[in-house]
Amino acid sequence: MSKIKEAFNNGKAFIPFVTCGDPDLETTGRIVREMVKNGADLVELGIPFSDPTAEGPVIQGANIRALSGGVTTDRIFSFVEELRRDVSVPLVFMTYANVVFSYGAERFISTCKSIGIDGLILPDLPFEEKGEFLPLCREYGVDLISLIAPTSADRIAMIAREADGFIYIVSSLGVTGVRSEITTDIPSLVALVRENTDVPCAVGFGISTPEQAAKMAQCSDGVIVGSAIVRKIAELGREAAPAVGEYVREMKNAIR
């Protein structure tokens, strides 16, 4: 069993996202530790990129702040090594294919393995092109996480059958960001996934309230929250960790 699957062994998984280096890596470390202390089962760590096509303005802003502060992929690798001294939950990187390409795919993925990264999410990587990275990910034991969107339609079964780690179900069309309402028929998407794999599936994009989280958790194995957390960090800066921890606790309690 991959370490990522372990995150789904204790009931519904709560998966928060944070952009590494927003506002600085020291603060990111405090935030991750507060998330874990308050019930995060797996943490998504964003490696900032200058053109994050899947992101709305909130996470775009975090990318800009992190890059302006001098964050690099190598600094994030060192940060994760330090984090792994006391953080044991699964960790996955969320970034863009260009970041991996420019670093060198094998060098990037082998480093993920050596520092304790369990998975990789590349939202701009089409399913048909994952052969660029999948053999390396499997060689080094890093799960390449598949995304399924409302537009995936007849490709859902194919994507599900080849999935590793967990499946990221995108709840809404468009970019990341808080939404007042999620109208996609998530139960139907999940049902189709479950006909084709026993890999857990978690729902993300647009979830921000305990009520939304509870509703999504009823029909899936976990809930992913990014923009609502990143917005708190934008508001509170270096003092954000306690507030983010409290929010994670509230969301985790909502999906229990």
Q: What percent of the chain has pLDDT over 70?
A: 93
Is residue 44's pLDDT more than 90?
A: yes
Angle formed by the axes of helices 25-37 and 241-255, nearest 10°: 30
Whether the pLDDT of residue 1 is over 60: the answer is no
pLDDT at 181: 55
Please determine, for residue 224, whether its predicted confidence score (pLDDT) is greater than 80: yes
Which homologous superfamily is 3-145+215-255 in? Aldolase class I (3.20.20.70)
Residue 177 above 70 pLDDT?
A: no
pLDDT for 115 equals 98
Task: Name the more confident of 211 and 179.
Answer: 211
Give the list of residues 6+ apart from residue 145 with CB closer than 8 angstroms, or none.
4, 92, 119, 120, 121, 163, 164, 165, 166, 167, 168
Band of pLDDT at residue 175, cut at 50, 70 and 90: very low
Q: How far from the centroid of its chain's Cα atoms is residue 146's Cα? A: 11
C-alpha separations of 17 from 13, 133, 231 in Å: 13, 22, 11
Contacts of residue 170, defined as CB under 8 A and 6 or more positions apart, other chains included, come to 147, 148, 149, 150, 204, 205
Single pTM value for the model: 0.94
Question: By mean pLDDT, which of 5-9, 109-113, 199-203 is the weakest?
Answer: 5-9
174-187 mean pLDDT: 59
pLDDT at 244: 98
* Burial classification of residue 16, based on how many CB atoms lie within 10 Å of its CB (0-12 exposed, 13-18 middle, 19 or more buried): buried
Give me 83's structure tokens. Answer: 């984090």
- For residue 151, the model assigns a pLDDT of 80
Average pLDDT over the chain, rounded to an integer: 92
Q: What band does 179 get if pLDDT is binned at 50, 70 and 90?
A: very low
Residue 152 pLDDT level (bands cut at 50, 70, 90): confident
